[in-house]
Structure 1
């Protein structure tokens, strides 16, 4: 059984994945943005999950989340699920936090980053991007996080690093009338994090419902990958190791 950390586990796809992985006998570390918000995962903690808290919109709290996770011991997989759709925290939560956690958490065997089909409308342009929250759209953020996932796959050949489009599913973010299947929305990340299937034990993929697809070309471009990593390192003061 695997030890898996899931960011943004209090609701939506993160909570659904946590419930399924616990049902399957895996060991979980769940996350909420504050200690008060951990009440939303009391039932998961009661079933044996460990828990960490920290607001991923805040750089120092994100660092502390990594410290808490490392204190709990080595992980097999991290699912970077937490995300926001609107507001000033899009870039900090959707891009900066996954980068910092990737760099600071002791390297697991598998990494899964949630992107979106909307990443195809993102701009492969870092000029004018302010990582504190100004100058980037949701689509931009999802292009950047997909690029991060594929950059990690290239930099860390000993890790399976992939990005997942969960579809437009009926969560709080997606809304009650979203047309895609909720179960399929979290199946792929669970599978990539824990399965022994040959396809799940691969790296550098962009996945939708357990099928590889072609991402935005920029996400595969080593020059854009390196520029993104350099920009994030400059802003955070945290460097992704080689």
Structure 2
């Protein structure tokens, strides 16, 4: 059975992912911003551990990485946590997956939630300030472009592990709203499958952008090694934390 960390799993897609993996017998560490976010107490009895931390705060994100390493080497991390607007949109959607990945012992698989809206994100990194989103630039779209490019960069620089981006669709979660047209049930299944499937069943094995179980083509910038490297450089400069390649097999 796999040891899996799911971030932002107090509600919505993260909770659905955690429940599915736990019901299948996997050891799930459920992350939430704080204990008050957990409204489904039943999941607490299913998961191995609960871990708390505000991913909009760099220090708390670093402590979550330390806590996770204290539990053991994870088979997979699902970076589900996300916000749609406000001052923490870059911190949660882009910076937190980078920091957790850079500081944790590399897991066998890294799954990052993207969005179809990443396709309208801006590939101009020259004026990006990760601590001050510019509402004139559609920061949610930008944050998801950066998250997608980050995980595809990870697939390139750590080729022995699996790294994928998933567009869950526009689903009726707290963030998506009740009028969202896509299936909530379908919204979590791809990331749950990628977390534990036999690698031989996953094509592409790594570096995929997925929607409802099928690979799609992402924004061209997300596939561009030069853009990926520029993004990693800016994330390093912003956080002071480098992302090292990991040549060792998972």
CA distance in 1, matches of 2:75, 2:46: 19
Kindly state the Cα deviation for residue 197 of structure 1 after the two structures are TM-superposed. Answer: 5.5
CA distance in 2, matches of 1:58, 1:205: 29
Report the counterpart of residue 171 of structure 1 in structure 2.
173
CA distance in 2, matches of 1:211, 1:227: 28
Superimposed CA distance per residue, residues 169-204 of structure 1 (whole angstroms, 9 cap, x where no aligned partner): 111111111111111100000000011162337100
CA distance in 2, matches of 1:179, 1:35: 30
Report the counterpart of residue 15 of structure 1 in structure 2.
15
Q: How does 1:7-86 map to 2 (within 5 A)?
A: 7-37=7-37, 39-40=38-39, 42-86=41-85
Unmatched 5+ residue regions in structure 1? Answer: none
CA distance in 1, matches of 2:18, 2:148: 22
Superimposed CA distance per residue, residues 139-198 of structure 1 (whole angstroms, 9 cap, x where no aligned partner): 000000000010000000111000000000111111111111111100000000011162
Q: How does 1:83-98 map to 2 (within 5 A)?
A: 83-98=82-97
Report the counterpart of residue 144 of structure 2 in structure 1.
142
Q: Is contact 1:191-1:200 (8 Å) kept?
A: no
Report SS of the residue matched to 2:201: coil
Kindly state the Cα deviation for residue 41 of structure 1 after the two structures are TM-superposed. Answer: 5.4
CA RMSD of aligned residues (A): 1.3
CA distance in 2, matches of 1:184, 1:26: 20
Q: Is contact 1:5-1:75 (8 Å) kept?
A: yes
CA distance in 2, matches of 1:140, 1:232: 14
Report the counterpart of residue 118 of structure 1 in structure 2.
117
Runs of 4+ in 1 over 6 A off after TM superposition: none
CA distance in 1, matches of 2:195, 2:132: 29
Unmatched 5+ residue regions in structure 2? Answer: 246-250
CA distance in 2, matches of 1:173, 1:189: 18
Kindly state the Cα deviation for residue 49 of structure 1 after the two structures are TM-superposed. Answer: 2.5
Kindly state the Cα deviation for residue 130 of structure 1 after the two structures are TM-superposed. Answer: 1.0
Report the counterpart of residue 207 of structure 1 in structure 2.
210
CA distance in 2, matches of 1:75, 1:42: 24
TM-score (ref. length: structure 1): 0.96
CA distance in 1, matches of 2:188, 2:46: 20
Distance 1:233 1:197, change over 3 A: closer
Report how many aligned residue pairs link the two structures: 241
Kindly state the Cα deviation for residue 9 of structure 1 after the two structures are TM-superposed. Answer: 0.6
Kindly state the Cα deviation for residue 40 of structure 1 after the two structures are TM-superposed. Answer: 3.3
